[in-house]
Structure 1
Amino acid sequence: MKIQPVKVALVGCGGISNAYLGTMKSKFKILDVVGGYDRNPDKVKDKVEKFGIKAMTFEEILADDSIEIVVNLTAPTGHYGVIKKLLEAGKNVYTEKVMTVELEHAAELVKIAKEKNLYLGAAPDTFLGAAAQTARYVVESGMIGEVTSCVSILTRDSEIFSRAFPFTARPGGGIGFDVGIYSITALLSILGPVKEVSGVTRMRNPERKNFALENFGEPFQIECENLMAGTLQFESGTVGNVLFDANSIFTVPERPVLTLHGTMGVMYMADPDHFGGEVKVILKGGNEPFAMQQSHAFTEEYRGLGVAEMAWSMRLGRKNRANKEMAYHALEVLHRIVQSSETGVNQKLESTFEKMPPIPRGYSGQTYFEFMEEMGIAQ
């Protein structure tokens, strides 16, 4: 049986589109990226020249029946309006995180996609990479026993990021929603749904001044949380603590903490913002961690892997792994932490999701055959 590639178009051709296009155009035979749209014509022109795609209007994308997936790479505040129009036009959609800024808007999009029998996928897709899949294998093999608790800590400097990436100072771009969601999604992919959260959020020093040369001294406002702490109670019984702080320092490389504690060992995960990285384990009776051999695919940066996996899912008639239910649940976890901070009361989650099968082991790209990795998501 010959599988026809899935035609893809982009909406939003900003900086992150380079990473997506670089992957989608060169790594996956299942994808045929044909066009892109951005409100800024210069951004589209740049992608036409770099990647050989066609410049299209938004209306042309909506009207083109041959385009089966539209990848939404607009800013978070624009996600709801763009995705709703795409779904209503009958398009399958994969969106950059987060699905929407407001939880009720995400619920509406999930409902529309279900009613129209459309795929709606969402980043982050890093949990499909070698590091997180190796970590899931460690847990599901029983190597570290029953996972009783987990911890996620990350720091950034909002003085830097809010100037370099203005959306991180606006609603939906706070430290939890912009970066913490990578940790949340990685934990969900391994441990399953969360049933209840408590949390504290802060918006420290909202009045800022810009120190970039082109607009030195101009004031700007932080409009979202830049500190988030939460306790997560998973349906499995695991208890987790998360701390996302944008009032600290930013290092290169970043050094987030993502650790799972089990009855027979402790596992130290790699940076969930990336696809690869070392997964280390200390087993009961030992004192020093050892690195796990990675036998899963996607050790390099593969932004857009979730798009390719969704395309294979469409062709094979199955549910995609970076699906709307899991993305919605991750978004709800973050919103319930904020709600708990505002009310001083633990918040129960209303949503859940089904854990999808892991990526099969053994399809590493470190072989003679470059097509091996894509074979992993074709199953």
Structure 2
Amino acid sequence: MGEPLNIGVIGCGVISGQYLASFDRLAAVNLVAVADLAPDRAAAATDGRTGVRAATVAELLSAPDVELVVNLTVPDAHDEIALQAIAAGKSVYGEKPLASTTQRARTVLDAAEKAHVVVGCAPDTVLGTGVQTARAAIDRGLIGAPVAATATMVVPGHELWHPNPDFYYQPGGGPLLDMGPYYVSALVTLLGPVVSVIGTASRTRSTRIIGSGPRSGEAIPVSTGTHVTGVLTHASGVLSTLVMSFDAVATRSANIEVHGETGSLALPDPNRFDGEVQWRRLHGEGWETLPVSAGYRDAGRGYGVADLALTPPGAEPRAGGVLGYHVLDIMESVLDSAASDRRVPVTSTAERPRPVHLQSLGPDASGTRSG
């Protein structure tokens, strides 16, 4: 066991608040600096945090006491900041996606390998008790051999609540690239890597009307698919059906279901760390709630950084760059299939991440450096 991993955060927008709250109680990491293009936001992030300083991006990247950079910038800047951190000899953990394209993400992984630093990538929701309890049930054989899975996210569109939703309706946006990382990361964690996909996409409206904020009532153009369906073939032979939509209202089905020869599982929202896992057994009478049996208890965004800090040297973090790249490759391949009307092989792969045994990470936990 050793000292906590010293980290710095770049990007102090809305999502940073959840990360900072986790870092306040995670003993495996030690927050030393924050930076943002808006100095007032960086300064605000230091309030009430002893030993944490506000810095410019350049100052944080060059700081000798920062060992890992937590990259919470906008998606289009993910690879740029990651490459600067790696060039400075620092490991990096980024919000999803790893980069805006697989080509740009590949440069990050290649640079990290040459520099002998570690890359982590959100979402880390898969490390919580929801997905991990379901994974433990699969590994114990509660549903027999897995056969199929479904992953469904149906909402009417972010323009109803977001004051500036333009990005979600342009290439690089859409429901799959926005929310798909949570669902696809969960499917790979549960069932292993994907080898090929078939996808299709549609767009129900050419414009959207902003429903809140100073631009309320303004029409914005839609230039990307807003309903995406894909069939993912896992290396194990399991078939997962993915439905990601900004075009409908809601669904009553579980966010993720996994079906096996002798049982089925219904999982909670993969955008959460917890929630009930339901089990229906062959010849059983109704659904049963499984007791929590795996995952980090009381987890929140940023637990993937602590998990990285506790990862043995040379091992891939559970929320690692290799998994983040594979998830991005799967999603790009679904969109490629939809555009080309053909099955598309997924050329990357990732090992199914190691399971998380039921445990808590908090003030009494000790951290070890990840190398």
Question: Do the two structures share a fold, i.e. TM-score over 0.5?
Answer: yes
Contact 1:98–1:172 under 8 Å retained in 2: no
Task: Specify the alignment match of 1:91 in structure 2.
Answer: 90
In the TM superposition, residue 255 of structure 1 has moved relative to its aligned partner by 6.9
**Which secondary structure state, in structure 2, belongs to the residue aligned with residue 334 of structure 1?**
helix
Displacement of 1:165 in angstroms is 5.1
Residue number in structure 1 paired with 2:18: 19
1:328 corresponds, among 325, 330, 351, to: 325
Structure 1 6/226 Cα, relative in aligned 2: closer, same or farther at 3 Å?
same
Q: 1:342 aligns with which of 332, 339, 344?
A: 339
Counterpart position of 2:302: 304
Give the AA of the match of 2:316.
Answer: K
SS at match of 1:157: coil
From 346, 355, 366, the counterpart of 2:352? 355
For 1:153, what is the secondary structure of its paired residue?
Answer: strand
Secondary structure of 2:284's partner? Answer: coil
RMSD: 2.4
Q: 254-263 or 320-329: which moved more?
A: 254-263
Aligned residues of 2:280 and 2:287 also touching (Cα < 8 A):
yes
> Within 2, Cα distance between the matches of 1:213 and 1:80?
31
Larger deviation, residues 274-283 vs 299-308: 299-308
Select the residue among 26, 34, 39 that pairs with 2:37: 39
Kindly state the Cα deviation for residue 183 of structure 1 after the two structures are TM-superposed. 1.0
* Range that drifts further, 197-206 or 209-218: 209-218
After superposition, the C-alpha distances for 1:196-242 in whole angstroms (9 at most, x for unaligned) are 10001234324233343522433323344321100011000101101
1:198 and 2:182 matched: no
Q: Does 1:237 align with 2:237?
A: yes
Quick one: structure 1 residues 161 and 78, their matched pair in 2 at CA, closer, same or farther if it must change by over 3 Å?
farther
Amino acid in the other structure paired with 1:172: G
- Gapped regions of structure 2 (runs ≥ 5): none
Please say if 1:151 is aligned against 2:150.
yes
**Residue correspondences, number:** 368
8 A Cα contact 1:127 1:275, kept in partner: yes
CA distance in 1 between counterparts of 2:115 and 2:206 reads: 42
Q: Which runs of 5+ in 1 are unaligned?
A: none
Deviation per residue, 1:34-93 (Å, 9 max, x gap): 111111122212212254531111111111122111001111111121112111221100
What is the distance in 1 between the residues matched to 2:325 and 2:217? 39
Bigger Cα displacement from structure 2, 316-325 vs 115-124? 316-325
Rounded Cα–Cα distance in structure 1 between residues aligned with 2:64 and 2:37 = 22
Within-5 A mapping of 1:55-204? 55-158=54-157, 159-163=159-163, 166-204=166-204
CA–CA separation in structure 1 for the residues paired with 2:28 and 2:165: 32
CA distance in 2: counterparts of 1:209 and 1:319, whole angstroms: 43
Helix, strand or coil at the partner of 1:214: coil
Call closer, same or farther: CA 1:161–1:345 in 2, change over 3 Å: farther
TM-score, normalised with respect to structure 1: 0.90
Give the structure 2 partner of residue 212 of structure 1. Answer: 212
**Bigger helix fraction:** 1
Task: Specify the SS of the correspondent of 1:15.
Answer: coil
Amino acid at match of 1:110: L
267-276 or 83-92, which deviates more: 83-92
Deviations 1:161-211 (A, max 9, x none): 553655433443321112121111011011111011000123432423334
CA contact (8 A) 1:274 1:301 kept: no
Secondary structure at the aligned position of 1:110 is classed as helix
- Kept in 1, the 8 Å contact 2:120–2:308? The answer is yes
- Contact 1:265 1:283 (C-alpha < 8 Å) held by counterparts: yes
Q: Quick one: structure 1 residues 214 and 193, their matched pair in 2 at CA, closer, same or farther if it must change by over 3 Å?
A: same
